Amino acid sequence: MTEIYPWQQSLWQQLTRRQQLAHAFLLHGAAGIGKRALADALLAHWLTQGQAASAVQKSKNLLAAGTHPDVFVLEPEESGKAIKIDQVRELVAFAGHTAQMGARKLILLEPAEAMNPSAANALLKTLEEPSEGTILLLISHQPSQLLPTLKSRCVQLPCPQPNAQSALTWLMQSLPQLTQTDCRELLQLAAGSPLAARRLHEQDVRAQRQKVVTGCKQLFKREQSAGSLAESWNAIPLLLLLDWFCEWAQQTLRQQLGDDSCTTADMQPVLIWLASRAKPEKLLAFYDWLLDKRRAVLAQSPLNRTLLLESLLVQWAQLA
């Protein structure tokens, strides 16, 4: 069975005790808190509920192999790409079939915000009038990007994020080779999401972060140009870079407002220095620009990565 994380136990118990199930659920919350694991466990539970022991074992074997005839999983064809209308049409056709091994068919769609407008509209009728025995599980990391008409057709389930101590305890158990300080640093980089923190460790993001921090300092000292830095950061995920600069711009603004509680230890001296030199209106304009580009990345808009990073670094340098 898929792992149910400690912070999910209450929601798991609530959902598995339901006598009657809705036709569509929307699991939403921050990335990296285990929404997919919870959805997989619910899918297996609801699919085998009420079946004989032999049928349950057969279903579990088919699920493990990814060949269960009553399960349809819809994801982008490529990571980070949109879910297309043709993919949703396959889902709609599956929803119209009769279940082959039991009374239910389960559909899992992740992430729901990856559907382009045409794909999302194509799903609405199935959400509103699903065939008998069909349950849809939608997962969203950015529910604000979903159509209101889509959200209104689902039972919305906010997925809990663990508190700081629970996240730290789980991460230290998951990565016993790391120190408590290492785990705290990873959780800070992952905004408190433990699964995201583990993934960052696997991607060696702390080394990438150090490279970016060093580059930012070199840029202010005029030891590196914006263009050369943009080229050298090619292997670092764009969204991660935008998140870090959003964090630094925000903390610089807080410094200017008298809030000395900077949580970014590796950039603290730089941000204190920058707060004494940057004009607040320029900082706010830079922060708004970062948020706009972040939205564009999340929406899979076509962007020239190198030019975007060069522009970011030129604006960053001009703040001082």
- Mean pLDDT by runs of 10 across the 320 residues of the chain is 86 91 94 94 90 85 90 89 92 90 90 92 90 92 92 94 94 95 89 92 90 93 92 90 93 87 78 92 95 86 90 93
Query: 93: which 2 tokens?
Result: 């056709």
Q: Are the C-beta atoms of 145 and 113 separated by less than 8 Å?
A: yes
Predicted local distance difference test score (pLDDT) of residue 43: 93
Residue 223's pLDDT is: 93
From the list 11, 258, 16, 310, the residue with the least C-alpha distance to 156 is 11
- What is the per-residue pLDDT for 80? 74
Tell me the backbone φ, ψ of residue 136, rounded to 5 degrees.
-105, 135
Torsion angle defined by CA atoms of residues 193, 196, 197 and 203, in that order, rounded to the nearest 10 degrees: -170
Is the N-terminal amide bond of 148 cis, ω within 30° of 0?
no
- CB-neighbour burial class of residue 286 (10 A; exposed 0-12, middle 13-18, buried 19+): buried
The answer, as to whether pTM is greater than 0.85, is: no
User: In this structure, what are the phi and psi dihedrals at residue 50, rounded to the nearest 5 degrees?
Assistant: 85, 0
At position 186, the amino acid (one-letter code) is L
139: β partners: 27
Under 8 Å CB-to-CB from 15, ≥6 apart: which residues? 42, 157
* 6-158 has CATH 3.40.50.300 classification: yes
pLDDT at position 49 is: 85
CATH architecture, range 208-318: Up-down Bundle (1.20)
Helix (H/G/I), strand (E/B), else coil: 104:
coil
User: Within 10 Å of residue 22's Cβ, how many Cβ atoms?
Assistant: 14
Q: DSSP readout, 246-266? A: HHHHHHHHHHHTT------GG
C-alpha to C-alpha distance for 20 and 120, rounded to whole angstroms: 26
The pLDDT, as a whole number, for residue 110 is 96
Q: Domain limits of the chain?
A: 6-158, 208-318
φ/ψ of 34, rounded to 5, equals 95, 25
Reduced to 3 states, what is the DSSP secondary structure of residue 240? Answer: helix
